[in-house]
């Protein structure tokens, strides 16, 4: 049996040879087979070589989900360049700052997407007159080329022999850096996690085994490719399995539902809240979505596989530094009461410790503490930081997540360090209160924060995402059978939509403004 590919260069050529006509990607009207991905990425890779790119050159990739992102990522990775995904939520200032911090030499980008005209915004942010020539600017000192046309870059490489590209690809090693994936910056300045070819591919191979993603599957994923969930657990996992990835950038719910009915995905993954509007569409009750038998996008999954309450199922927990998901479980059935709220157990290759952050000592099962991770599939280091600055002396990564475990090793996420609410000396997990509100209201989304209080230090505040009026007293009565009295929200507000940061995460500062009325 041939060895599994250990670099992206090996992966793309092997999959094109074995499954050439099989669709790798279906994104709205776009279709990309494995053979087309190999051919297009080879042409673009030769163009990058002609522009001076090679092993360890940092290549920025700024695209929404789609074939252009896939081709650009593969082109850079197969010559040993380091892929640096950029979020399409970025402002011009953020783009310029990340280009500089990530030491990007070549940027491949979409000229515009939704409200952004990146060609104009980037030119202004860099302070240059034009982007169609070699760049020399103090804002991003290492940036030499920015292109909004992959075909134009490919034309530069017409004289680069195919045998040279093959030789360059053969020289890429599993220990070489594949990508610098930036954190979303929810708890500080975004950091770039450096991941290697070997670690990312091996980790996804393990995860595919747990969630049973095979070459026969069609995965619907709504996670952006520029974040680690879409990049690793979506795109790379699909290629490792030889499967098909289905995604959509459509803003019209009917168009997305049309896509799902036509393409019939078998597995789902991503942000459940981002598909809730599909289930509210007037045509949803008549749609045939019975092909979706597994996954976590519960609002749009068939009733016979959808839990009556998501907290009855194992969740999944991932982070950029871990190359995506690292807590999960193959059991997709409703769990016994003592395991409600579980995020599963560590994936192969991950060692977990839960410690008191003030003393560093291991806490007992059931007690909250900071989650520490160790293992071969973690990031090498943060970009521009040493391993000593990334890990402690014993090789542990301090995640900043507060969790507890049970005696069977299942992990329960409680929140981020600093997000725990301290009320009258007691700790309250926002996640626990949010889950309880979701249960007693029949699925209403809530965001729980700590609010300053002169007597108790902090009190629990709950912001419910709804257009309906909410009676705070009635809500507390419902929660009283679920939560201890000190965990009950003293203040309740509603918003029609949760305010979001550019990263897509909830803007807690603006969320607190809901209580100003």
Burial of 395 (0-12, 13-18, 19+ CB in 10 A): middle
The pLDDT, as a whole number, for residue 314 is 96
In the chain (517 residues long), the average pLDDT of successive 10-residue segments reads 91 98 98 98 98 97 98 98 94 90 98 95 93 94 97 97 97 98 69 97 98 98 95 98 98 98 97 89 98 96 92 93 97 93 96 94 95 98 97 96 95 84 80 90 91 86 94 94 88 91 75 86
Torsion region of 181: left, alpha or beta (phi above 0 gives left; psi -120 to 50 gives alpha):
beta
**CA 462 – CA 442 distance, rounded (Å):** 16
Of the candidates 275, 315, 332, the one whose C-alpha atom is nearest the C-alpha of residue 299 is 275
The pLDDT, as a whole number, for residue 37 is 98
The pLDDT, as a whole number, for residue 187 is 46
The pLDDT, as a whole number, for residue 188 is 53
Q: Spell out the domains of the chain, with CATH numbers in brackets.
A: 38-197 (3.40.50.980), 250-306 (no CATH), 321-416 (2.30.38.10), 421-515 (3.30.300.30)
Buried b (16+ CB within 10 A) or exposed e, 499-513: beeebeebbbeebbe
- DSSP-derived letter for residue 289 is -
**CA 4 – CA 240 distance, rounded (Å):** 9
């Amino acid at each position: 049996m041939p060895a599994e590919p250990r670099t992206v260069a090996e992966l793309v050529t092997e999959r094109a040879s074995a499954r050439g006509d099989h669709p790798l990607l279906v994104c709205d009207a776009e279709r990309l087979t494995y053979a087309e991905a190999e051919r297009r990425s080879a042409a673009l890779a030769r163009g990058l070589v002609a522009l001076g790119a090679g092993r360890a050159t940092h290549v920025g990739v700024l695209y929404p989900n789609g074939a252009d992102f896939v081709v650009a990522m593969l082109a850079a990775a197969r010559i040993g360049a380091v892929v640096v995904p950029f979020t399409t939520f970025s402002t011009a200032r953020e783009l310029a700052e990340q280009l500089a911090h990530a030491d990007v030499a070549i940027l491949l980008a979409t000229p515009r997407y939704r409200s952004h005209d990146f060609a104009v915004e980037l030119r202004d942010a860099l302070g240059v007159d034009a982007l169609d020539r070699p760049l020399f600017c103090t804002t991003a000192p290492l940036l030499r080329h920015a292109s909004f046309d992959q075909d134009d870059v490919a034309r530069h490489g017409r004289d680069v022999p195919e045998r040279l590209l093959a030789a360059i690809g053969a020289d890429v090693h599993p220990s070489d850096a594949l990508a610098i994936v930036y954190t979303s910056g929810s708890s500080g300045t975004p950091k770039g996690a450096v991941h290697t070819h070997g670690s990312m591919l091996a980790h996804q191979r393990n995860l595919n085994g747990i969630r049973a993603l095979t070459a026969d599957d069609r995965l619907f994923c709504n996670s952006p490719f520029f974040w680690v969930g879409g990049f690793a657990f979506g795109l790379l996992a699909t290629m490792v399995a030889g499967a098909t990835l289905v995604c959509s950038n459509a803003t019209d719910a009917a168009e997305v539902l049309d896509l799902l009915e036509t393409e019939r995905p078998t597995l789902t993954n991503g942000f459940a809240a981002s598909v809730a509007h599909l289930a509210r569409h007037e045509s949803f009750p008549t749609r045939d979505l019975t092909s979706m038998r597994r996954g976590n996008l519960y609002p749009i999954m068939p009733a016979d596989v959808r839990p009556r309450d998501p907290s009855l199922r194992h969740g999944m927990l991932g982070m950029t530094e871990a190359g995506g998901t690292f807590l999960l479980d193959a059991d997709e059935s409703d769990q016994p009461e003592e395991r409600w709220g579980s995020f599963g157990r560590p994936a192969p290759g991950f060692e977990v410790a839960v410690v008191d952050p003030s003393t560093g000592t291991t806490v007992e099962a059931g007690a909250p503490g900071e989650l520490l991770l160790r293992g071969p599939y973690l990031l090498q280091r943060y970009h521009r930081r040493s391993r000593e600055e990334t890990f402690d002396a014993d090789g542990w990564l301090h995640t900043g997540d507060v969790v507890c475990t049970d005696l069977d090793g299942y992990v329960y996420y409680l929140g981020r360090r600093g997000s725990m609410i301290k009320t009258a000396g007691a700790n309250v997990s926002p996640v626990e209160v949010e889950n309880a509100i979701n249960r007693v209201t029949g699925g209403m989304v809530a965001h729980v924060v700590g609010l300053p209080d002169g007597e108790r230090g902090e009190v629990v505040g709950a912001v419910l995402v709804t257009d309906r009026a909410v009676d705070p007293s009635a809500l507390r009565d419902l929660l009283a059978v679920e939560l201890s009295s000190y965990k009950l929200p003293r203040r309740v507000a509603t918003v029609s939509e949760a305010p979001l940061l550019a990263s897509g995460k909830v803007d807690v500062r603006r969320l607190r403004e809901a209580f100003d009325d």
